[in-house]
Amino acid sequence: MATYLYRIGKFAYRRKGVVLAAWLVLLVLAGVGAATLSGPTSESFSIPGTEAQKAQDLMAERFPDRAEDPMNSLSARYVIQAPAGQTLESPQNQAAMDAMIAKVREIPDIKGGAEQVSNPVVAEQNMTQIALDQAAKDGSSPDQALANAKAVSSLSPDKTVGYFEVPFNGGMSDVTPELRQEIGDAAQIGRDAGLTVEVSGNAATEQTMPGGAAELVGIGVAAVVLMITFGSLVAAGLPLITAIIGIAIGSLGITIATGFMDLSSMTPTLAIMIGLAVAIDYSLFIVSRYRHELEETEDRAEAAGKAVGTAGSAVVFAGLTVIIALVALRVVGIPFLSDMGAAAAFTVLIAVLIALTLLPALLGLFGRKAIAGGIPFLKSRVGEGDPAKPNRAVRYARFVTKAPALTLGAGILLLGLLAIPATNLALSLPNEGTADPTTSARKAYDLVGESFGPGKNGPLLVVVDAKDARVPATDAFADVVRTIEAQSDVSNAQIVGVNQAGDTAQILVTPESSPSSDATKDLVQNLRDAESELQSSTGASYGITGQTALENDISDRLQSALIPYLAVVVGLAFVLLMLVFRSILVPLTATLGFLLSVAATFGATVAIFQEGWLGLISNPQPIVSFMPVFLIGVVFGLAMDYQVFLVSRMREEYMKGASAKEAVVAGFNHGARVVTAAAIIMMSVFAAFMAEPDSFIKAMGFALAAAVFFDAFIVRMVIIPSVMALLGDAAWWLPKWLDRILPNVDIEGQKLQLATTDELRKDLQPVS
């Protein structure tokens, strides 16, 4: 591989005009495509195959005019509280609400017509009368009818708080600033009249698009680190130029994809976050090797070819581990997570291709000026220095190889302590109950919970299928209601709809506990457990859906997918690392080190964002359900980056004849500076996203920055050198039979070093 990459690097250096033009054309085409082919992003969180989704699909089939996906429907909810000492039934408060509703009815695209939006006081009176009339008609209990009417009423028992819903046609892509302004204007009418009015719902909540400032901060920090590393403005600028072009092409490509598939609004942000970090790191690694090769030869084309042939090999395999980890998210079986992984993998692929081709072309464009623009008070940190005067990296590596057991124990103990809070990991999807307490949506949520009971914020919907029942459908429906009412956490259960065929019913269940509580989760599970007995006795079946059930199922699916996903990723990467290092123990220690770093990352994230340690987060909440799986994939890929960058130099020295411990010291000396700079850059890029308002992006930025710190500075620079020193020659042991089977990818460029200059020049003649 090194020989092929050498030829690519040398070709790109010499044919810089062709290569630069090709990337420029690709960038322009991507821009045109994004401008003409893009579509709206999606906020769908459905997962095919979950119990709640099956019930939702059944409801869509049997109630085509009434079925609505609670996770993806567009609506606003106005929650109104009367002034202290008053009720909403007073004439002046009803007049204020009527003025609000009149304004709301002027908003276009209200689903089902504007006339359905009504005053909660009037709505309760109408509902109570309808319930009593129906009870008299079918001979049922008036008390039960009143209880059912009260359970679904939009007016609190003490008449001080009420709400009304406003459903809209379309989806999140149809929400405009004008629509949010109209929703807010109607609320302001009530506030001006003395009412407390809070508005929730996805139509009313402003959706902030993350990105922009975070990327600029990350790039700014990266520029400073690169200038310190190279001591040259031009050399520091090259990785930034390639990274910016890479994320531009990557993000434009993802934008084009939105025209052909549903992608979450967070997908491009996460892809840019990861793509920006790896793009800078990959280019940094090759430029630093280029600087090193210039100390061996004056032929700059030769130096560029060797830099791409050696460091480029490490970049290819580092990029492959990241891509494997991201693409393998498809194993989890969650569409939006698979799309996030694929989009991020695409940006990583672009970063690798740019580092191998565009970067050497830019080196050729700048020629001798590629290391120009020296900064007077800074000196390059890339050179090897005077061998007679060991630098800090050499002194540190020698200390580690002399007392490896001590440093190994210290590193494991530190990460183990940091991982302890991870035992309290709790997962949930973002909702109004986890929103910032200062927002109107959270205030509306809290008002409803306090005035109506916690379960009002997350009712369950049971869909009963009596099509194949052995008893009359009405009896089957009644049996299901009794089964539900027998549960301890149920406040009310009532039939709210029967389809035209009379074989399917919707039962609204109001829990006593809040949507995210363990009691509600247990209620859902208990009802599902009871379904088999009822089906065996009546032939009827049922499923449970609604936003609470859907969110719980998604969280459960994600949590149960952690171990299988981890096994797939680690297994594939283990094989890849065996190819890279031709060893069994080196990939094994690399994987175990990753497990330590990811456990410490989970612990730190739980401590800060869930438990509220140090007071850094004003609104601690459970971790977003899909963050752990995504974090594992990304962190594993990044961890293997540093493993390849650092240990490949150790293997290179070992293959040149150095002893095992000497190879550790020499390899660490070669790679530590670059890995340190790369880690600081990556941490800065990720940490900059903590300034974003979105809780998931904020937590992910912190977790990725923490993971890079733990893995680069503790695992790869403390634990791995210690283990390599303890293992000695055994670190590079590979059974002979396996050695014969595995292809030799020559990541160290051994064949490249052995090949004569004349032989290589036969394959690539200089451009006349």
pLDDT tens per residue across span 330-347 = 877 778 778 888 888 999
* Burial label, 305 (beta-carbon count in 10 A; 0-12, 13-18, 19+): buried
The answer to whether residues 283 and 333 belong to one domain is yes
**Lowest-confidence range among 250-259, 356-365, 759-768?**
759-768
Q: Tell me whether residue 677 is in a domain.
A: yes
Determine the pLDDT at residue 557. 81
CA atoms 544, 547, 550, 551: torsion sign: negative
What is the pLDDT confidence band of residue 659, given thresholds at 50, 70 and 90?
confident
Output phi, psi for 447, to 5 deg. Answer: -60, -45
Q: Tell me whether residue 162 is in a domain.
A: yes
Q: Tell me whether residue 635 is in a domain.
A: yes
Helical residues (DSSP H) of 440-504, grouped into ranges: 440-452, 473-485
Q: Dig out the tokens for 458 from the structure.
A: 């997350």
Torsion of CA 364, 366, 369, 370, to 10 degrees: -70
- The pLDDT mean for the chain works out to 84
Q: Tell me whether residue 546 is in a domain.
A: no
Q: In whole angstroms, how far apart are CA 269 and each of 76, 212, 243, 247, 343?
A: 27, 9, 15, 11, 10
Helical packing angle, 300-327 and 2-14, nearest 10°: 120
Structural domain of 79? 73-201
**Could you tell me which residue, 134 or 355, shows the higher pLDDT?**
355
Task: State the average pLDDT over residues 283-294.
Answer: 84
What is the Cα–Cα distance from 29 to 616, expressed in whole angstroms? 44
What per-residue string of b and e applies to 648-661 under the rule 16 or more CB within 10 Å gives b? bbbbbbbbeebebb
The answer to whether residues 119 and 262 belong to one domain is no
Q: Tell me whether residue 48 is in a domain.
A: no
Domain boundary at 201, 220, 243, which?
201
What is the Cα–Cα distance from 12 to 31, expressed in whole angstroms? 24
Q: Tell me whether residue 503 is in a domain.
A: no
Determine the pLDDT at residue 372. 62
The answer to whether residues 190 and 278 belong to one domain is no
The answer to whether residues 702 and 747 belong to one domain is yes
**Could you tell me which residue, 376 or 21, shows the higher pLDDT?**
21
The answer to whether residues 195 and 314 belong to one domain is no
Report DSSP state, residue 85: T
What is the Cα–Cα distance from 680 to 41, expressed in whole angstroms? 32
The answer to whether residues 636 and 653 belong to one domain is yes
The answer to whether residues 171 and 238 belong to one domain is no
Determine the pLDDT at residue 65. 74
Each residue's pLDDT tens digit, 535-589: 998 999 999 988 788 888 887 887 787 788 888 878 877 887 888 788 899 889 9
Q: How many domains does the chain have?
A: 2
**Could you tell me which residue, 215 or 18, shows the higher pLDDT?**
18
The answer to whether residues 222 and 191 belong to one domain is no
What per-residue string of b and e applies to 671-703 under the rule 16 or more CB within 10 Å gives b? bbbbbbbbbbbbbbbbbbbbebebbbbbbbbbb
Sheet arrangement for strand 161-168 = 161-168, 74-81, 196-200
Q: Tell me whether residue 470 is in a domain.
A: no
The answer to whether residues 196 and 223 belong to one domain is no
The alpha carbon of residue 366 and the mean position of all alpha carbons in its chain are separated, in whole angstroms, by: 38
Helix (H) and strand (E) counts for the chain?
Answer: 27, 9
Domain boundary at 201, 223, 256, which?
201
The answer to whether residues 246 and 104 belong to one domain is no
Determine the pLDDT at residue 212. 55
The answer to whether residues 374 and 309 belong to one domain is yes
- Which neighbouring-strand residues pair with 79? 163, 198
Q: Tell me whether residue 458 is in a domain.
A: no
| Residue 77 parent element (H or E) | strand 74-81
Domain boundary at 173, 201, 229, which?
201
Look at residue 415 and give its three-state secondary structure.
Answer: helix
Model confidence at 597: pLDDT above 60: yes
Q: What percent of the chain has pLDDT over 70?
A: 90
The answer to whether residues 367 and 274 belong to one domain is yes
